[in-house]
Chain A
Amino acid sequence: MLKKEFAGQGARWIVVCFALLFAAACAQTKPDGLSSNVKPGTGQDFVVNVGDRVFFEEDQSVLNSQGQTTLAGQAKWLNRYSQYTITVEGHADERGTRQYNIALGARRAQAARDYLVSQGVSASRVKTISYGKERPVAVCNDSSCWSQNRRAVTVLNNATN
């Protein structure tokens, strides 16, 4: 039943999260910045102060060091706020064929999920889903967009902002 929601509203969610990601980037550049306005333990806190996504190289599902850092932060946050269950959404860029990209997105979601579990997040809290190349967040015809689309996004299933 959760999946039903994502199928219908997943795209909107991702766009919202993405806007928030930029806010997070801004917040980090300021000394005690905007992030202090965010209530701790909320979905917004997770997206803005922890970061909800990690990125991958072309046709790869290996986590780079930046991705591992982000996921370690996610795990720490999730271990603190244990009321949340999560879905890790795996995505691919548009420069592949549909079926393979579905499996590639699943691999990326699995890689992120395994890392979270290795950092102490209970496996029973984590679901994965792949959207393949069906849900891009960046739509330009450029490697800068494609690299933003090759991602695994951790979504809080029962978040209240």
Chain B
Amino acid sequence: MHGLLKTLFVPQGLKAFGLAVLVTIAAISAPQPASALVEIDITQGNIEPLPIALPSFSAEGGDGKLAADMTSVIAADLKRSGLFNPLDPASFIQKNMSVNSTPRFGDWRQISAQALVTGTVTKQPDGRLRAEFRLWDVFAQEQMLGQQFYTTPENWRRLAHIISDAIYERLTGEKGYFDTRIVFVDETGTKDKRVKRLAIMDQDGANVRYLTRGDDLVLTPRFSPTSQEITYMSYGGTDPSVYLLNIETGQREIVGNFPGMTFAPRFSPDGQSVVMSLQQGGNANIFKMDLRSRSTTRLTNGAAIDTSPSFSPDGRQIVFESDRGGSQQLYVMSANGGEARRISFGPGRYSTPVWSPRGDLIAFTKQHQGRFMIGVMKPDGKGERILTEGYHNEGPAWSPNGRVLVFFRDTPGANGGPQVWTVDLTGYNEQRVDTPAFASDPSWSPLIN
């Protein structure tokens, strides 16, 4: 059976990082089950996390620490999602699992595992890593998934995230979001003299890399849908302006030639244009710039602060905030401008809207009675739900599968500062992302693989 290997695809986005090749491996005993017993409905709130057993991958005489570390990264990914409960390895009855043998399902049922992952990581004679894993349905006693990968050793964390994504997708029916990165603003120094640097990290906080040196004040980085570029605001030029930065080459360029300050940039879903605000006297209006033709289009025109534009995933509409009615509220207009329709009507002020990549929801910051909340509503303004609230929560950004929001939470006083948090759409699962210093303005990359 193991001879039946089939190459599925060579993930395109991986080129810059060294190739990972995914191969599907056939089931050991039975053919794929017609229907698995184990599955997670992630649309329900406050679900019981699925008990899953992740015995350390075997190294077959190779690097045992690497195999254990990879397993830990996978377990941590699944646990942080709030949908899985990785079981304590001390409770495992069957030891020394091999990826090439059928598990003793009774041993895993006894500790209430519903899913089981077995795997192995070995180094090939050519220096590449080979990783192989199988996902088992303990109660159906069947293999749900089996895959094999080859990659360069420095890619081991990404490989772990790719495996996490495969497990998540197989058990939830939704795309994962673990093989992704988050761009953010690193903040050091005292509150009145903050030094801000653009930085990028894996979604779990690993592999932090700084993209600017801190000479210039930088704000609000946003990923391109292609993930090779970010757009952000910098105070480095004559006027504070919107820039593009290629995160692989470090190449930087100003976006457009506007007479005044530009800010609050965001890419269109096709990556071909950037929307942003232009300050004109006391007013801020929204403009769109086509990155290829360099032509600019005015989208709003009025005596108001119109800012934080965000495209719908089909590129046809834009949600933004405006104080045209007297206080900050959310409005939706055509991507070509024109009439805008107010969608937020609850008590308080609404800002920083961002459209879900699934199209079904708009996330926002809401201020009411001195509290700052992160919430979601439907694009027509109905169904508002607050996911988290406190002294200061601000600036949500979506995971690429539209199931998790990343935002920053500030704390008060001279020693206070922002930290990056995630919350899932149920609002029950809040997690802090560990960063080297204070961190704000997080923005999620698309799925890399």
Contact indicator A98/B192 (Cβ below 8 Å): no
**Are A100 and B220 within 8 A (Cβ)?**
no
Taking a contact as CB atoms closer than 8 A, the residue among A7, A103, A136 that contacts B284 in the complex is A103
List of A residues within 8 angstroms of B193 by Cβ:
11-12, 15
Question: From residue A151, how far is it (CB to closest CB) to chain B in Å?
Answer: 13
Alpha-carbon separation in the docked complex, A132 to B305 (Å): 13
Min CB gap B371→A, angstroms: 11
Q: How far is the CB of B257 from chain A (nearest CB, A)?
A: 16
Check B192–A139 contact: CB distance below 8 A. yes
Return chain B residues, CB-CB under 8 Å to A98: 219-220, 352, 394-395, 440-441
Q: Across the interface, which residues of B come within 8 angstroms of A111, CB to CB? A: 282
Q: Does B351 contact A (CB under 8 A)?
A: yes
Chain B 221-245 per-residue mask, 1 if CB under 8 angstroms from chain A, else 0: 0000000000001011111100000
Chain A, residues 82-124, CB within 8 Å of chain B (1/0): the string is 0000000000001111111011101100110000000000000
Query: How would residues 53 to 73 of chain A score, 1 for a CB under 8 Å from any chain B CB and 0 otherwise?
Result: 000000101000000000000
Q: How far is the CA of A102 from the CA of B279 in the complex (A)?
A: 9
Given contacts A3-B240, A100-B328, A130-B261, contact A8 B394 (CB under 8 A): no
A102 near B263 with CB under 8 A, answer: yes
- Counting contact residues on chain A (CB < 8 A from B), the size range is 35 or more
A115 to B394, CA, bound (A): 34
Q: How far is the CB of A62 from chain B (nearest CB, A)?
A: 11
B307 interface hit (Cβ, 8 Å): yes
Find residues 1-37 in chain A having any chain B CB closer than 8 Å to their own CB. Answer: 1-4, 6-8, 11-12, 14-15
| Least Cβ–Cβ distance between B24 and chain A, in angstroms | 45
Question: By the criterion CB–CB under 8 Å, are A103 and B279 in contact?
Answer: yes
- Report yes or no: A107 in contact with B305, Cβ–Cβ below 8 A: yes
Q: In the complex the two chains form, what is the Cα distance from A54 to B73 in whole Å?
A: 53
Question: A98-B394, A99-B263, A99-B308 are known contacts. Are A139 and B281 too (CB-CB below 8 A)?
Answer: no
Q: Across the interface, name the chain A residue whose C-beta is closest to B413.
A: A141
- Docked-complex contact A99 and B220, CB < 8 angstroms: yes
**Contacting residues of chain A (134-161) with chain B, CB-CB under 8 angstroms:** 134-141
Indicate if the CB atoms of B279 and A106 lie closer than 8 Å.
Answer: yes
Contact A7 B264 (CB under 8 A): no
A129 at the binding interface (Cβ < 8 Å): yes
Q: How far is the CB of B387 from chain A (nearest CB, A)?
A: 16
Q: Write the B177-217 contact mask toward A (1 if CB under 8 angstroms, else 0).
A: 00000000000001111101000000000000000000111
Interface 1/0 per residue, B403-438 and A, CB below 8 Å: 000000010111010000000000000000000000
Extra contacts besides A107-B283, A130-B261 (19): CB < 8 Å = A3-B237, A7-B217, A12-B193, A15-B192, A95-B367, A97-B308, A97-B351, A97-B394, A98-B352, A99-B220, A102-B263, A102-B264, A103-B307, A104-B305, A106-B282, A135-B192, A139-B413, A139-B414, A141-B413
Hey, which bits of chain A sit against chain B, CB under 8 A? 1-4, 6-8, 11-12, 14-15, 59, 61, 94-100, 102-104, 106-107, 110-111, 129-132, 134-141
Return 6 A-B CB contacts under 8 Å, by A number: A2-B238, A97-B367, A102-B233, A102-B307, A110-B281, A139-B413
